[in-house]
A and B are shown apart, each in its own frame.
Chain A
Amino acid sequence: MESKRKIPVTGIGMLNVLAAVSMPAAIAAIFFLAPREETMGEVQRIFYVHVAVAWCGLMSLIVSALAGASYLFRRDLAWDHWSLAAAELGWLGCGLALITGSLWARAAWSVWWTWDPRLTTTFILWLIYSGYFLVRGGLEDGHRRARVGAVMTILGMLDLPLLFMATRWFRGIHPVPQGMEPSMRTALIASLASFSALFLLLLILRKVQLKQAQILLTCESAAEMNADDSPGW
Chain B
Amino acid sequence: MDDRTIAIEARGLCRSFGGRIVLRPIDLAIPAGQTVALTGANGAGKTTLLRILSGLNRPTAGKVFWFGQPAATNSPACRELGVVMHESQIYPHLTVHENLLFSARMHGVSEPRRQIHRWLESVGLERQRDCLAAKLSRGMRQRLALARALLHDPRVLLWDEPFSGLDRENAIWLRELLGKLRDAGKTVCFSTHDADFARNCADRALHLHGGRLQEHEMAMAEPIIASVGSSRARAA
Interfacial residues, chain A to chain B (CB-CB below 8 A): 75, 140-143, 214, 217-218, 220-222, 224-225, 229-233
Grouping DSSP codes into helix (H, G, I), strand (E, B) and loop, the A interface class, with mixed when no group exceeds half, is helix
CA distance A230 to B17 in the complex (A): 15
Let me know if B18 is at the binding interface, CB within 8 A.
yes
Interface pair B17/A141, CB less than 8 Å apart: yes
B39-50 vs A: 1/0 string, CB under 8 Å? 000011100000
Q: Does B60 touch A at the CB level, under 8 Å?
A: yes
Contacts of A233 in B (CB 8 A): 17, 20, 22, 43
Q: Inter-chain contact count A-B, CB under 8 Å?
A: 42
Proximity string of chain B (151-177) to chain A, C-beta cutoff 8 Å, 1 when within and 0 when not? 000000000000000000000000000
Q: Is the CB of A142 within 8 A of B43?
A: no
Chain B contact surface mostly: loop
> Which residues of the partner chain B approach A214 to less than 8 Å between Cβ atoms?
19
Q: Does B16 have its Cβ within 8 Å of any Cβ on chain A?
A: yes
Which residues of chain A are near B210, meaning CB under 8 Å? Answer: 225, 229-231
Interface size class of B (residues with CB under 8 A): 10 to 19
- Assess whether A225 is in contact with B211, with CB atoms less than 8 Å apart: yes
Task: State whether the Cβ of B21 lies closer than 8 Å to any Cβ in chain A.
Answer: yes
Smallest CB-CB separation from B17: which chain A residue? A141
Docked-complex contact A218 and B60, CB < 8 angstroms: no
* Docked pose: A126 CA to B18 CA in angstroms: 28
B residues in contact with A225, CB < 8 Å: 20-21, 210-211
- Docked pose: A225 CA to B14 CA in angstroms: 14
In-complex Cβ contact of B22 among A75, A220, A231 (8 A): A231
**Whole-angstrom distance from the CB of A205 to the nearest CB of chain B?**
22
User: Which A residues are in CB contact (< 8 Å) with B21?
Assistant: 221-222, 225, 231
Please tell me which one of the listed residues B19, B45, B58 contacts residue A217 in the complex, with CB atoms under 8 A apart: B19
Q: Are A221 and B16 in contact (CB-based, < 8 A)?
A: yes
Contact A231 B60 (CB under 8 A): no
Which residues of chain B come closer than 8 Å to A141, judged between CB atoms? 17-18
A142 B45 Cβ-Cβ under 8 A:
no
In the complex, the answer to whether A232 meets B20 with C-beta atoms within 8 Å is: yes
CA distance A220 to B45 in the complex (A): 20
Cβ–Cβ contact B18 & A231, under 8 A: no
Q: Which residues of B lie under 8 Å from residue A140 when comparing CB positions?
A: 17-18
Contact between A231 and B211 (Cβ–Cβ < 8 Å)? yes
- Using A218-B16, A229-B210, A233-B22 as known contacts, list a sample of 4 further A-B pairs with CB atoms less than 8 Å apart, ordered by residue number in A: A140-B18, A141-B17, A142-B19, A232-B20
Q: How far is the CA of A98 from the CA of B222 in the complex (A)?
A: 73
Mask for B19-44, Cβ within 8 A of A = 1, else 0?
A: 11110000000000000000000011
Closest 7 CB pairs of A and B: A217-B19, A140-B18, A221-B19, A141-B18, A221-B20, A231-B211, A229-B210
B residues within 8 A CB of A232? 20, 22, 43
Closest to A228 in B: B210
Which residues from B are CB-within-8-Å of A142? 18-19
CB-defined contacts of A230 to chain B, threshold 8 Å: 210
Residues of chain B contacted by A220 (CB below 8 angstroms) = 19
The residue of chain B having its C-beta at the shortest distance from the C-beta of A75 within the complex is B58
Contacts of A229 in B (CB 8 A): 210
Residues of A contacting B18 in the complex (Cβ-Cβ under 8 angstroms)? 140-142, 217
Interface 1/0 per residue, B126-165 and A, CB below 8 Å: 0000000000000000000000000000000000000000
Shortest Cβ distance from residue A195 to the other chain B in the assembled complex, whole angstroms: 35
